[in-house]
């Protein structure tokens, strides 16, 4: 089970590093890839990106270093909340294509949170 959790944590980490980095540091590139970025404030996009990057740190580092590993499921629940809110946002905008990826990441994050509790 530990190996499966680490694999999922790695997948989540890679996905959130990609999306968080684009939202936090490459907003123009993010706007070209995701149309919703053009229609919300730059501050909101930056906030989401930084929250995702901080979440990745919390997802990996505490468990890997065995320092306050209770932070890993908390970070996983936080990332799950981000993607759940993203799915709701996309549903309201009728952007159904984006919801599928949100739901996959939601399930993976909840799996890590439950497995690490």
Give me the helix-helix angle, 96-116 and 71-92, nearest 10°. 160
User: Hunting for tokens 């989540």 — which residue is that?
Assistant: 12
Average pLDDT over residues 46-66: 97
Number of domains in the chain: 1
Please report which confidence band the pLDDT of residue 56 belongs to, taking 50, 70 and 90 as the band edges: very high
The pLDDT of residue 79: 98
The whole domain housing 70 covers 2-116
**pLDDT > 90 fraction of the chain, expressed in percent and rounded:** 94
Q: Which residues contact 61 (CB under 8 A, 6 or more apart)?
A: 67
pTM (predicted TM-score)? 0.93
Average pLDDT of the chain to the nearest whole number: 96
CA distance 77 to 22: 22
């Amino acid at each position: 089970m530990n190996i499966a959790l680490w694999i999922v944590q790695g997948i989540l980490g890679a996905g959130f590093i990609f999306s968080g980095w684009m939202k936090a540091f490459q907003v123009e590139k993010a706007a070209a890839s995701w149309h919703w970025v053009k229609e919300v404030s730059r501050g909101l996009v930056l906030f989401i990106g930084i929250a995702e990057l901080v979440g990745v740190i919390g997802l990996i580092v505490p468990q890997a270093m065995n320092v306050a590993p209770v932070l890993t499921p908390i970070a996983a629940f936080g990332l799950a909340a981000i993607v759940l809110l993203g799915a709701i946002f996309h549903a309201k905008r009728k952007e159904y294509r984006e919801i599928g990826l949100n739901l996959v990441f939601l399930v993976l994050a909840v799996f890590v949170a439950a497995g690490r509790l």
